[in-house]
A = this chain, B = another copy of it.
Amino acid sequence: MTGALVGVRRDFDIVGLVVLAMMTGLGGGVLRDVLLGVNPPVNIGSWERLLTATLAAALIFWQHDRVLRRERVVMLLDAVGLATFCVTGTIAALSHDITPATAVLLGVLTAVGGGIVRDVLSGRTPVVFSGELYAIPAIVGATLTTVAEAFGAAGIVYVGPALVCLGLRLVSMRRGWSAPGARRR
């Protein structure tokens, strides 16, 4: 959805919007599955997910004025996606035979990978690199998920890490927190 919005700002055509929407929403999970050797990646293996991304792009295509006026709702949805993807991505990774550090990495990749692909394709420096607290909530969420799994957590417990990640992201947006940069002196 942020994918399609970025596309509108760049005057992409309808194909560009659909591709950007797919990449942004599904790209992180596809990268994770490629690294884990899940073929074909679940995100492109089911037409339901492809359809959802297409519908999001269609919504933006016809109603981008209205959507842009509700930018806070879009940012909220994006944060919910971040929180959900970092937890589900980590869980999916943990079901394979990998180390905890790799699971955290892949969980974070699921959450932020789509946005990176979106920014590279539309010629922007990836937002995730430049100041905003975007990856850090995902890192915290993925780490908590991995720890919880080590203690044998199941089902509903994983809502916890997701809420922590969501909370961190929302608070940081409201307060304008940013990650430390290495300013040249």
Chain A positions near chain B (C-beta within 8 angstroms): 7-17, 19-20, 30, 34-37, 39-41, 44-47, 50-51, 60-62, 64-65, 96, 98-102, 105-106, 116, 120-126, 128-131, 134-136, 139, 178-185
Interface residues of A: mostly helix, strand, loop or mixed?
helix
Contact of A64 among B122, B178, B179, B184 (CB under 8 A): B184
A35 touches which of B8, B44, B181 (Cβ 8 Å):
B44
CB<8 Å pairs between A and B, sample of 30: A8-B182, A10-B130, A11-B184, A12-B182, A13-B129, A13-B130, A13-B179, A14-B179, A15-B134, A15-B136, A15-B139, A16-B128, A17-B182, A19-B129, A30-B35, A37-B37, A37-B39, A40-B96, A40-B98, A40-B102, A44-B106, A47-B99, A47-B102, A50-B101, A60-B182, A64-B182, A120-B120, A120-B121, A122-B125, A123-B125
